[in-house]
Each structure stands twice: as C-alpha cells, then as structure tokens.
Amino acid sequence: MTNNAQWSSRLGFILASAGSAIGLGAIWKFPFWAGANGGAAFIIPYIVFTFTIGLALVMAEVAIGRRGRGSVVSAMRRVGGRWFGTLGALGVLTSFFILSYYSVVGGWCVAYLWDAIQGNVTINDANLLKSHFGHLVSTPELNVFWHFVFLTLTCGTVALGVESGIERLSKYLMPTLFILMLAIIVRGLTLPGAWAGVEYLFNFSWDKVTSNAILNAMGFTFFSLSLGAGILVTYGSYLSDKTDVPNASLWVAVLAIQAALLAGLMIMPAVFAFGLEPNGGPGLVFVTVPMIFSHIPFGGVFALLFYICLLVAALTSAVSLLEVVTAYLQNEWHLSRKVATIVNWVSLFLLGSVSALSFGPWSGFTVSGRNFFDLLDYICSNYMMPLGGFAVAILAGWVAWPMMRQQITAVKPYSEAALSLLRIMIAFLAPILVAVAIYQGLFGG
C-alpha cells in the first residue's frame, strides 16, 4: 500500500522536519554539551558534520522516502528489497522506543508549563527546586499523569493527519519558537556578566580538539538531525516530486544548527551571569533555569515563554516519532489512522509508564547502573539510531545509487563533481564514521 498524504507545500515539509530535529536535544543537551566538550572545538566539528555526512544522510533518507512512497518499512523494501525492509522495521522500533521515554520528559515540560502559568517556578533556592523536581519524577501518579497528558497531545496531533495535524502544528509553532527564543536571548545577553557564558560556548583552543570531542560532535549531529529512526524517510514520503531534495534538506540542516546555537545563547549567558553551574539534562532546564528567572524582572513571564519553547520543541519531535509508527501500521497492517493512533496511544502509554516509574518505585531495577529510562535511551542513541543510519547509507550509497542520483537531480541539475562528492560522503564517509562510533560505544572508553 502506498501513501497518498502530502505536505501542502515545501515550507510545510521543511518546518515539520526542522520541528523533528529541534527538540530537547537542542535545548537541554547542546548548551551544556558544547561547553563540556571544549566550546568551539565541539561546535566547529558539529557544524562540519552537519553540512557533510549529516546533510548527505538527510538527503538519502528523504530520497528513499520519496521514491518508496510509504512507511520506512515499505519504502526501504521497495527501494532495496526484503532485507532493507527488515532494517526499516528497526527504524519503527527505534522511534517507538524513543517516543516512549521522550513522552515522559515531554510530560515534565507540560508539568513545568503548568507551574509557570500559576507563577510557581521562579524560586531562588536550588534545594527547593531540586526537591520540587525530585518530587515530580518520583511520585508515580504525577509522573505517569503528565506523561499521559503529553502523549495525548502527541497522539491527538498525529490523528488529525499529515497536513491538518503535523504540518499545521509545525507551521504555527516553529516560528513562535524562534521568536520566543530571541526574546529570551536578548534578555540574557543584556545581563551584566553574560559574556562569560558566550565565551564558555564559543572559546577555541587547539588542545581541546580531541578525538572524544569530535566523536561526541558526530553523535550529537546524528541525534539532532533525527537520523536513523526512519523519520525523514517517512516525512520524505509525503514530499511532492516538484520539490528539490538538496535544497529542502539544506534548509532543515541550517535550521537545526541555528536552533542549537540559539539555545546555547538562550541559556549559558544567563547561567554565567548569576554564577550558576552549567550542567546538562533535566537539572539544567528544571533547576538552573528557574533560578535565572527568579533573578530577573518579569521573570515569571520569561519562565512562561521558556517552558512554552520547551514544550513546542518536544512536541514537534514527538509527533515525528509517532508518525513513523503510525505510517507503518497504516501501510503494513492496513489500519486506519485513527485505529493506528489508538493502538500507539495505549502501547506507548504502557511502555512509557515503565520509564516513568523507573524514577520512583522501580528505580531499584538497573542494568550497569542505568534505570529502565536511561537504558532505553542508551540503547536507542548509541546503537539503534547509528545502525539505522548505517543501513540508509548502504542503501543509498551502494544498493540504490542510481535511484538516489535520480531523486537528487529530479528538479534541478547538479554538477557531476557535486554528485561524486555526495556519493563519497554517503557510500564511504558515513558508514565508516558510523561504524567507528558504534565500535567506540561498544569497546571504547
């Protein structure tokens, strides 16, 4: 069965894909991760990777999707044969797993937005903020409730369909996200002492250029472009034949980088201006950031804007993950979109609840020190997504290069030199680098 849904415009595709890319990774990982990995020594390779293998793999996924016109399983099978269909199923599973725990974090974003609406998050006491957050994640009914709310928002959007659900959501929310981020940046940069945060992010010194910083930059490129989970294959399958794939892909990459850099500028200058600790993950957005808002005039308003940003970023990424699974159930199991959404809603609620409970009553269940939530994240980010990316590179670079070439040049001719360069990236550089990253994850430090 093929898909006949389509984006209403090129912009719709670009904003939905950028919405997928720009998520919690950009906002809660990048600012801290860039600083911890040596500032510019991380940011420069991140930008280089994004515009080389990252962009090449984005184009490959979109091309496979548009040619295969179906879910990631149908599309990869149609383009590369039965085995690639099976590898596509890995993408469906990856998206399903990621969404189950992403939705728990999304729930925290809704909970904090709710707090911000009531004016409850601008507290100038780190211990109180820590215990507030600890209470949220370790209280089963709270954590499961907010996970349910976020999942319902995600399922509701996807149930409405590609154009009236996902595209409409992205078209309104992505521009809003940029405007809100700019407002917060201007506020942060005008604080005395803010410059130290900019330096933390962008300082460059040669001795920080280490293989670790470079590998981390590659891993982040992968995660931040939502590669290897079937998302861009699925979104590509709704793309019109009249859209130029390289150009649309370039836009997605540019917007993803821009959002990460803006997130860095939104958070770090203020963190340094108030002498707070630049840490990562939940601690940054749910403990440190509220401290900042407690220090500035109209902090409550900025807190509200910030948690709206966070929720928008999380929601547009979650929707993309869900669409991968929904398209699969529609294409392969012939379920209607509504029924597929209900199946997903129930099963993701159950699996996500295990992640939610792994911070509370089930925190005793650990594998090499990781609770269920961390374990799923670790397996998805370090193995399943890279493996998915590897499969796409082999398919587009080796097995179906003529198809790839045809998709790339379908609207506009590109020079032979550009095409050869693209092939070198997809067929050689991408698989080698991904294999190194997987090896490093398995056997490296």
Q: Where on the chain is the footprint of ligand PFF (CB under 6 A)? A: 20-21, 23-26, 95, 98, 223-224, 226, 229, 231, 317, 320-321
Nearest-approach distance from CB 98 to ligand PFF, in angstroms? 5
Which sign, positive or negative, has the C-alpha torsion 361, 363, 365, 371? Answer: positive
Give the position of tokens 């409409």. 168
Nearest-approach distance from CB 188 to ligand PFF, in angstroms? 21
Residue among 97 and 200 whose Cβ is closer to ligand PFF: 97
Q: How many C-beta atoms surround the C-beta of residue 263 within 10 A?
A: 26
Residue among 166 and 321 whose Cβ is closer to ligand PFF: 321
Residue among 90 and 273 whose Cβ is closer to ligand PFF: 90
Residue among 252 and 433 whose Cβ is closer to ligand PFF: 252
Angle at 334 between CA 156 and CA 329, to 5 degrees: 50
Nearest-approach distance from CB 256 to ligand PFF, in angstroms? 8
Nearest-approach distance from CB 314 to ligand PFF, in angstroms? 8
Query: Phi/psi of residue 200, each to 5°?
Result: -60, -40
Nearest-approach distance from CB 315 to ligand PFF, in angstroms? 11
Alpha helices for 161-242 (secondary structure H): 168-189, 195-202, 211-224, 231-236
Nearest-approach distance from CB 206 to ligand PFF, in angstroms? 29
Give the position of tokens 């961390």. 374
Q: How many C-beta atoms surround the C-beta of residue 169 within 10 A?
A: 23
What value does the CA radius of gyration of the chain take, rounded to a whole number of Å? Answer: 21
Residue among 91 and 290 whose Cβ is closer to ligand PFF: 91
Query: Phi/psi of residue 222, each to 5°?
Result: -60, -50
DSSP letters along 300-348, please? HHHHHHHHHHHHHHHHHHHHHHHHHHHHHHHHHH---HHHHHHHHHHHH
Residue among 311 and 427 whose Cβ is closer to ligand PFF: 311
